[in-house]
Amino acid sequence: MSVAGRHIVITGGGTGVGRAVAVAFAHAGAKVTVIGRREGPLREVAGQHKFIGWVSCDVSDPEAMGAAFRQARGLNGPVSVVVANAGAAESVPFQKMTPEHLQAMLSVNLGGVVNAWQAALPDMKSEGWGRLIAVASTAGLKGYAYVSGYVAAKHAVVGLTRSLALELASTGITANAICPGYIETPMLDRSITNIVEKTGMTEEAARTSLMAGNPQRRFVQPDEVAGTALWLCSDAARSVNGHTLSISGGEI
Q: How far apart are the first and last CA of the chain?
A: 30
How many Cα atoms are found within 13 Å in the side-chain-facing hemisphere of 182? 20
What are the CA-CA distances from residue 252 to residues 48, 67, 179, 211 (Å)? 34, 38, 10, 14
Q: CB count, 10 Å around CB of 13?
A: 30
Contact 157, 133 (CB under 8 A): no
What's the Cα-to-Cα distance from 193 to each of 4, 155, 209, rounded to whole Å? 40, 25, 13
Residue 128 to residue 94: CA distance in whole angstroms: 44
Helix (H) or strand (E) holding 247: strand 244-247
Residues forming a β-bridge with 120 = none
Measured between alpha carbons, how far is 77 from 111 in angstroms, rounded to an integer? 24
State the DSSP string of 21-56. HHHHHHHTT-EEEEEES-HHHHHHHHTT-TTEEEEE
Mark whether 182 is an active-site residue.
Answer: no
Q: By the 8 A CB rule, do 233 and 131 touch?
A: yes
Catalytic residue selected from 144, 146, 150, 182: 150
Q: Which residues are catalytic?
A: 150
